[in-house]
Structure 1
Amino acid sequence: MTTEDNARHAEKMAKVKAARDRMMADRQGEKGLIIVHTGKGKGKSSSGFGMILRCIAHEMPCAVVQFIKGAWDTGERRLLTGHFGDLCQFHAMGEGFTWETQDKARDIAAARAGWEKAKELIRDPKIRMVLLDEINIALRYDYLDSAEVVAFLRDEKPEMTHVVLTGRNAPPELIELADLVTEMEVVKHPFRDGIKAQPGVEF
């Protein structure tokens, strides 16, 4: 790059920094967020567990309630229970996807038990983040009442507690309530080419 190129670049970046500084000066508030990761693409639970690991790194007590994958032996479950049990409670409440159990009453009972545990954890003021993994699946199949979940989060969640809800087909009322919503889209997926779920990638 020439001297003129460097000078133009420096001038451009200075303007960008000034604009960013002005924007950040207006954003000093903090609150406990309701965070939704939904959509057909991969990465919803992975992102939620990434946030849990950030909490652990900051020594912030946190918790996980799994609504569907409870029967699975996953890497995140091994890691969190084996190494970080003092900071992260892990409750695997599900019994697998509904097409595996083929027992709606049992699925509803498992989802209700998971939700009761979730409410207990969210109400605990010492816990800073609660991940409700695949709860949107339970809502989609009407194992839980979405109006009840939304009302609880709106009315009873402590002010500084973050709650992360993952799974496809998040209901519109939950999306409306949430502070942060990300929809994962599928561009390519190896499953379509006959590749099964693999350790370290999917679980």
Structure 2
Amino acid sequence: MQIETPPVDYQRVQPSAERRGLVIVHTGDGKGKSTAAFGLALRAHGRGKAVKIYQFMKVPSARFGEHRMFEQLGLPIEGLGDGFSWKSKDLEHSAQLARDGWTRAESTIRAGEHFLVVLDEIMYPLRYGWLPLEPVLQALRERPAHVHVLLTGRNAPEELIALADTVTEMALVKHHFKAGVPAQRGIED
């Protein structure tokens, strides 16, 4: 490790635009996309802002750690899917759930009643062709000016990256799965 001198000068960038709702994307092969989205949701909820989280791959009855905690905090989280595609018994049904889920999420975005809407794991139904990209982009462009939308998932489409205000790509450096260590409750759920 190289030791650094702590910075002592700070050059503040003076904002030149008004505050507005942002489109934020968390993508990449690294772990932490949903976790970072949930952290932002908690931050907004903690400030008394209305937040809604949609999870495109989780089942509505999911009881993962985040669901249990968000329920205690009164932060709404809703599973829209039937699990990951390799667990699905009917991919057309999975696709229909994604389309129905998008209808719900789009309605929430356009209604303008939430400060932040999280579309967790939406990249899967986009990549699988279950959801067309253009209506998602159109809803993001036409959303009320104060609404923030955060989208997560691997391989975000270039068109979405171009539209977004902030894009973070999580990079995989090392993962315990590669060493044969299985998923663990409280870490992966």
Count of aligned positions: 184
Q: Are 2:129 and 1:142 aligned? A: yes
Larger-Rg structure? 1
SS at match of 1:69: coil
- Distance in structure 2 (CA, Å) of the matches to 1:27 and 1:118: 31
Residue aligning to 2:64: 74
Equivalence for 1:179: 165
SS state at 1:120 partner: helix
Distance 2:36 2:123 in 1: 15
Aligned match of 1:47: 36
* Structure 2 Cα separation of the partners of residues 36 and 67 of structure 1: 15
SS, match of residue 188 in structure 2:
coil
Determine which of 93, 107, 110 is the counterpart of 1:123.
110
Deviation at 1:159, TM superposition (A): 0.3
* Cα drift, residue 196 of structure 1: 1.3
Partner of 2:77: 90
> What is the 5 A alignment of 1:94-109?
94-109=81-96
Percent identical residues? 42
| Mapped pair 1:165 → 2:151 | yes
Q: How does 1:3-22 map to 2 (within 5 A)?
A: 13=8, 16-17=9-10, 19-20=11-12
**What letter matches 2:164 in structure 1?**
A
User: Displacement of 1:78 after TM fit?
Assistant: 0.9
CA distance in 2, matches of 1:80, 1:42: 20
Q: Aligned equivalents of 2:155 and 2:96: distance in 1? A: 21
- Change beyond 3 A, Cα 1:124–1:191: same
RMSD: 1.7
- What 5-or-longer segments of structure 1 have no aligned partner? 1-8
Deviations 1:68-119 (A, max 9, x none): 02364211111112x222xx32211111011110422111111011101101
Gaps of 5+ in 2: none
Q: Distance in 2 between matches of 1:189 and 1:137?
A: 21
Bigger helix fraction: 1
Among 5, 14, 33, the alignment partner of 2:22 is 33
- Amino acid paired to 1:63: K
How far the C-alpha of 1:28 sits from its partner, in A, is 5.8
CA shift, 1:124, in A, is 2.6
Q: TM-score, normalised by structure 1?
A: 0.85
The Cα offsets for residues 35-66 of structure 1, whole Å up to 9 and x where unpaired, read as 00011100000000001100111010100111
Question: Could you list the runs of 4 or more consecutive aligned residues of structure 1 that deviate by over 4 angstroms after TM superposition?
Answer: none
1:154 aligned to which of 138, 141, 144: 141
Question: Does the aligned pair in 2 maintain the 1:72–1:96 contact within 8 Å?
Answer: no
1:177 to partner: Cα distance: 0.5
Residue 32 of structure 2 aligns with an amino acid whose one-letter code is: G
* 1:129–1:163 contact (8 Å) kept in structure 2: yes
Q: CA offset at residue 198 of structure 1?
A: 1.1
